[in-house]
Amino acid sequence: MSGESERAGDDRGRGSDDEERGEKIEWGEGDPRVLFAMNLVLSTAFAAVVVYGLSYLDLAAFSVVNVASAALVLTAITYLVTN
């Protein structure tokens, strides 16, 4: 019985700590360098898929230049939309 009461006390203690921490957390926008890197990686991956699809349809060649160009355009558009 003492084990149960100790565990119950621990759970209550943790819950109140979590509530206190939740009140203290302030959500920020994040590190701009990390956000830019994520934007660049995800835009490059999406650009590669788009250029591959266009090359599959024989509308564009699948090349590093085309993927990089599309990635830069997507990164710029994403940056402008989010800021």
pLDDT > 90: what percent of the chain?
Answer: 53
pLDDT of res. 23: 61
The domain of 48 spans 32-82
Helix axes 64-82, 32-56, angle to 10 degrees: 130
Query: CA–CA separation, 61 vs 83, rounded Å?
Result: 32
Identify whether 27 is part of a domain: no
> What would the pLDDT profile of 9-18 be if each residue is shown by its tens digit?
555 555 556 6
> What would the pLDDT profile of 60-74 be if each residue is shown by its tens digit?
999 999 999 999 999
Q: Which residue has the higher pLDDT, 7 or 72?
A: 72
What is the reported pTM? 0.62
Rounded mean pLDDT of 39-59?
A: 95
Identify whether 24 is part of a domain: no
Domain count along the chain:
1
Identify whether 49 is part of a domain: yes
